[in-house]
Structures are given as C-alpha cells and as structure tokens.
Chain A
Amino acid sequence: MISFLTSNAYWIIWLVKIALLLFIVLTVNAYLTWFERKVVAHMQSRWGPHRVGPHGLLQPLADGAKFLLKEDPTPAGVDKFTYFLAPLMALALALTSIAIIPFGPEPLHIFGQTITLGIADLNIGILALFAITALSVYGVALAGWSSNSKYPLLGGLRSSAQMISYELALTMSVVGVLLMAGSFNLRDIIGAQSQHPERGLLGWNLWPQILGFICFFVAAVAETNRVPFDLPEAESELVAGFHTEYASFKFAMFFIAEYTSMITVSCLCTIMFFGGWLSPFPASWTFTHYLPSAILIPLGLWVIWDGLRYETVFGKLVLPGIGTVMLALGAALIAFPAVNEFIQGPFWLLGKILVFLFVYVWMRGTLPRFRYDQLMSFGWKLLLPVSIANVILTAFVLLWRGAQ
C-alpha cells in the first residue's frame, strides 16, 4: 500500500488536487449565490435568505437539493444532442479554466512531496485561458438554438454577437501586461510585478496599465454575461434568455458555469493587474503578516457573540461553533510562524478575489442594463480603440525605456 502510494505519488497528488479544487470551487459557487443574495438584499433594504439555517447559511444546500430533485422535462421539438451538449460544454469549459490559475507562490512540502498550489502551470497560461473562453460561447449559443423556441434563440444570438465583439477588446487589453512581463505564464506575470518589493501596491501593473485594466474588466464582465451586460438573459425582454427551456440540474449547470467564470475573471484581474499574491504593503512591514489573524480573531469573536443571541437553537449551537473555529485558526497562525508565512500569498490572492466578487455583486445591485445598440457601439467604438491605443502606448514606452 505504502509503496504503491510513493511510486505513484505524482499521479495521486494530481488527482487529489483536481478533486480538492473542484470541491472548493463548487462550494464557493454555492456560497457565492448566498453572498450575492445577501449583499443585493441589504443594498435594497431587505433581509435576503434567512430561513434555512442561521442567517440563511444552509440556503445553498437547499437550492442544490431542489435542483437535483426537480422534474427535468425535455421540451418537444428540441435538437436532442445539442440540447444536452450545451450545458455540459458550458460547465466543463468554465471548470477547466480554473485549473490554470496559480493560488500561491511557494510549493507545499508535505510527506516528502512538493506540491505546487495550482494544477497546470502552462507556458501559454493566459493564451490557454483565452482559448477556453473562446470556446465557452458555444454553450450559450447552442443552448439558445437547440431549444427550438424564440426567446432562447434571441438570447443565444445576442450572446454570440456580444461575446465575439467583446473578446477582441478582452484580448487586446491584456497585451500591455504581457509586454511588460515578457511571458504568457501567470506566475511570471506576478513575478514581473514583484521586482520592487519595497513599493508594495505601487509596483502592481494596475498603475502603468490603468487603461488596460478598465478595458479588461468591462470586457470580462461582458464575457461572463453579467449585469450591466446581461442582455442574453434579460428577463424583462426574453423571459430568461438562452436557458428558458432548461430545468432542474441542466439549468443549475449553466448557473454554476456563470458563477465559475465570475471566479475565473476575478482571479485573472487579481493576477494580471493587482499583483496576484503580492502584499499591498512594502516587504519590510513584517507586522502586516499578522493581518490574517487580526481579521480572523475579531471576526470569530463577533460570530460567537452574534450566535449567542440568535433566535433559533440551531443558530445558538452552530454560529458559536463557526466562531470558535475562526478563533482557533487565528490563534494557530500566531502560534506557528511557518504556517503564517506560507498562508500570506494565498491570503492576499483570495482576499483580492473576494473584493472583485463583491464588485460584481455591487454592480448587479446598482447598474441598469445596457440597450443592445449601446452595447455594440460601446464595445466596438470605445473599448476596442482604447485597448489598441494602450498596446501601442505600452510598446512605445517599453522601447523608449529599453533605448535609454
């Protein structure tokens, strides 16, 4: 048994990493729906989900069970093969793209094995991501076409047109970052931003590439079909757009795909423009390494206090439990400096990703939807020229600096 484990360690680590990442991503997806509903609710002076479990924390589980158990009718007249292929394609491509994201700088050394954080470390990292994004339009387009119904068809057409238009701007806006890093590899891109550790957040790509960042973020939101670019599923015009004819788990697959691509886009924004796992503080400020504990311990205390005065017995039991775990984690990070050092990179990366996810939800709670012609002229007449100008500008500045 032991010899089998050690001789095949490479493959076993690989499989375990994939399974673990899938589990984490799907759980985060589920709680992202809770997060979104809560944040939007509070922005609109409502409570949001609060019936299932304390603070509605079990709502994602209830939703998942509902998706699994509901009847799954196939409408008459659909193109069967394509109708079943579309949600599979959307979900598979969205989940694949997560595999390319690196989650931390240092590999983990455990049981004599070296485990890098992240599954695939590709030389063509960002290009591979764009290849997957380029294919993911089929999920939506084919779902719209195969449903044999007018609203999905219109939604699918809108979505293909939108994704073709914004993909150009998306790709061009990244070129500036690639020119500065001189590599397609995501680890190299973060490495290029860490050349001046004393500058902290001033060394990030955000400042020289501010135009690129704005173009990238807008185009990426459009690629993920989120507000204000959610015309393919505009409920006031198209019922539910491309997934109108999908029910039960096939609908859930589109849903998970959309949330997973939100996570991917947040990861990409963080890695390319916000320094990835780099701390925003200068490297000499070592006291900021206690920040994870400084957040976890007060948060844990608050959750315990909140749990003790919660109305239901279940909440009185569960919330203090969660709070105690947070407290223990915070204390453990102080007690074991090696673990604390290791956790710094992932902490900052995940923190920044969370901020971007919040921005996504914030936009949904704030912005109205674009009109279709506004969407097209915005993409072609503003975003694309600006991102091309950014490429030319970056290239000239780099040439000028190289000549000096």
Chain B
Amino acid sequence: MTPQLAIFFVLAALAVIGALNLILQKHPIHSALSLIVVMIALAGLYLLMGAEFVAAVQIIVYGGAIMVLFVFVIMLLNAGVEEKTNISKLAGIAGVPLAVALLGFIAAAIARSNDAAQAGVESGTLASTKEISTMLFKDFVYPFELTSFLILVAILGAIVLAQREN
C-alpha cells in the first residue's frame, strides 16, 4: 500500500465516522463538531489530490466561517439535548429507498469510470491557484457571476426578512 492510499483510507474513515457521528449525537454542538471533522477530512482529501487551494478554501469557508456561524447560533439559542422521535412515515417510504438508490448510482458511476477520469486526480500534480482563477474568471465567468448574484439575492432576502417587523 502506498502512503497516499494509507492516508486516503484514514481520511475517508474519518469523514464517514464524522458523518455518522453527526446523525447519532444527541447534542447539537456535538453534531456541529462532527460536521467540522467531516469538513477537515474532506480538505485533507483535496490536499491528497494536489488541490491545495481548494483544500485551504474548504477549511476557511466551511470549517471556519459557516460552521462558526452554526456553533454561534446553537450557543445563542442555547439549544438543549434533542428529543428522540420515531422515524417519520415519509422518510420510511420515500427517504430510505431514495438514499439506497443514490448510493447505488454513485457506486455504479465510480465502478464504470475509466482511466481517463481517474487520471484527473493523479496524486503529485498540483493544481495551481493561477489555473483555478483563469478558469473561474475566463472560461466560466458567466456561471461564476450568476452564482454570486444568487448569493447576493439570498443575502438581500435575509435582510428583508429580518427587517419586516419595522
């Protein structure tokens, strides 16, 4: 086993355990902490693929900004231990089969993927920040700008909702 593969398995196991722990934990803060573990393990996986920039941004944006906001809100609301409810009917009828189907599709797609697709994640090659920015601001500039417009709309929506009282 190459070192890369060993590190991959450690990080992948960490991500899966973190994700399971996120659902199984009873306290919201512990769930949020598990989600942070997942984010950091994913960042490690990106690093393993040579995507340094994406890994750093993953930690800064998801691990830092977004999850801090989660933790902040949980602390502010002082949310207690969650109550246990029985699994809802809709989840039993639609959710579980859909989840199984999704897992099957992803597994099939990975199993059928050819060498050309795997070559894209060859370890040891570094995706430079320059290439990423050229792609974002030249090749995909319209989708990029559209996405930022969408986020702007969401921010404005949040402000409008918050200001409705006055």
Known: A82-B29, A124-B53, A127-B56. A160 touches B75 (CB 8 A): yes
Q: Which are the 7 A-B pairs with shortest beta-carbon distances?
A: A134-B64, A127-B56, A131-B59, A124-B52, A160-B72, A134-B60, A145-B75
Give the complex CA separation of A37 and B63 in angstroms: 36
- Cβ of B103 under 8 Å from chain A: no
Interface centre among A82, A134, A184 (most CB of B within 10 A): A134
- Cβ of A332 under 8 Å from chain B: no
Task: Produce 1/0 per residue, A382-404, CB < 8 A to B.
Answer: 00000000000000000000000
Chain B interface residues toward A at CB < 8 A = 27, 29-30, 33, 36, 40, 43, 52-53, 55-57, 59-60, 63-65, 68-69, 71-72, 75-76, 126, 128-129
Q: Which residue on A lies nearest to B40, using beta carbons?
A: A135
Interface centre among A124, A130, A133, A145 (most CB of B within 10 A): A124
Known: A138-B36, A145-B75. A123 touches B52 (CB 8 A): yes
Q: Is the CB of B72 within 8 A of A161?
A: yes
Known: A124-B56, A127-B53. A82 touches B33 (CB 8 A): yes
Known: A82-B33, A123-B52, A127-B53. A134 touches B59 (CB 8 A): yes
> Given the complex, which residues of B lie within 8 Å of A163, measured CB to CB?
68
Q: Is the CB of A131 within 8 A of B64?
A: yes
Q: Is the CB of B75 within 8 A of A141?
A: yes
Q: Is the CB of A157 within 8 A of B57?
A: no
- Cβ of A144 under 8 Å from chain B: yes
Known: A124-B129, A157-B72, A164-B69. A137 touches B64 (CB 8 A): yes
Give the complex CA separation of A295 and B29 in angstroms: 53
- Cβ of A81 under 8 Å from chain B: yes
Q: Is the CB of A156 within 8 A of B65?
A: no
> Given the complex, which residues of A lie within 8 Å of B43, measured CB to CB?
131
> Given the complex, which residues of A lie within 8 Å of B56, measured CB to CB?
124, 127-128, 130-131
Contact for B65 among A127, A134, A144, CB less than 8 A: A134
Q: List 27 A-B contacts (CB under 8 A).
A: A82-B29, A124-B56, A127-B53, A127-B56, A127-B57, A127-B60, A128-B56, A131-B56, A133-B64, A134-B63, A134-B64, A137-B64, A137-B68, A141-B71, A141-B72, A141-B75, A142-B33, A142-B71, A145-B29, A146-B29, A153-B75, A160-B72, A160-B75, A164-B65, A164-B69, A167-B64, A184-B129
> Given the complex, which residues of A lie within 8 Å of B55, measured CB to CB?
124
Give the complex CA separation of A145 and B71 in angstroms: 10
> Given the complex, which residues of A lie within 8 Å of B126, measured CB to CB?
123
- Label chain A's interface by main secondary structure: helix
Give the complex CA separation of A163 and B76 in angstroms: 16
- Cβ of A198 under 8 Å from chain B: no
> Given the complex, which residues of B lie within 8 Å of A82, measured CB to CB?
29-30, 33
Q: Which residue on B lies nearest to A163, using beta carbons?
A: B68
Give the complex CA separation of A98 and B9 in angstroms: 28
- Cβ of A341 under 8 Å from chain B: no
- Cβ of A79 under 8 Å from chain B: yes
- Cβ of A92 under 8 Å from chain B: no
Q: In the complex, what's the smallest C-beta–C-beta distance from A388 to chain B, in angstroms?
A: 15
Give the complex CA separation of A137 and B65 in angstroms: 10
Q: Is the CB of A131 within 8 A of B60?
A: yes
Q: Which residue on B lies nearest to A81, using beta carbons?
A: B30
Give the complex CA separation of A167 and B64 in angstroms: 10
Q: In the complex, what's the smallest C-beta–C-beta distance from B74 to chain A, in angstroms?
A: 8
> Given the complex, which residues of A lie within 8 Å of B128, measured CB to CB?
123
> Given the complex, which residues of A lie within 8 Å of B53, measured CB to CB?
124, 127
Q: In the complex, what's the smallest C-beta–C-beta distance from B29 to chain A, in angstroms?
A: 6
Q: In the complex, what's the smallest C-beta–C-beta distance from A25 to chain B, in angstroms?
A: 22
Give the complex CA separation of A131 and B42 in angstroms: 14
Q: Which residue on A lies nearest to B52, using beta carbons?
A: A124
> Given the complex, which residues of B lie within 8 Å of A135, measured CB to CB?
36, 40, 59, 63-64
Give the complex CA separation of A167 and B76 in angstroms: 20
Q: In the complex, what's the smallest C-beta–C-beta distance from A155 to chain B, in angstroms?
A: 11
> Given the complex, which residues of A lie within 8 Å of B59, measured CB to CB?
131, 134-135
Q: Which residue on A lies nearest to B126, using beta carbons?
A: A123
Give the complex CA separation of A123 and B50 in angstroms: 11
Q: Is the CB of A156 within 8 A of B75?
A: yes
Give the complex CA separation of A175 and B36 in angstroms: 26
Q: Is the CB of B65 within 8 A of A130?
A: no
Query: Can you add 17 more A-B contacts, CB < 8 Å, to A124-B129, A135-B63?
Result: A81-B30, A122-B52, A123-B52, A127-B56, A127-B60, A128-B56, A131-B64, A134-B59, A138-B36, A138-B71, A141-B72, A141-B75, A142-B29, A153-B75, A156-B75, A157-B76, A161-B72
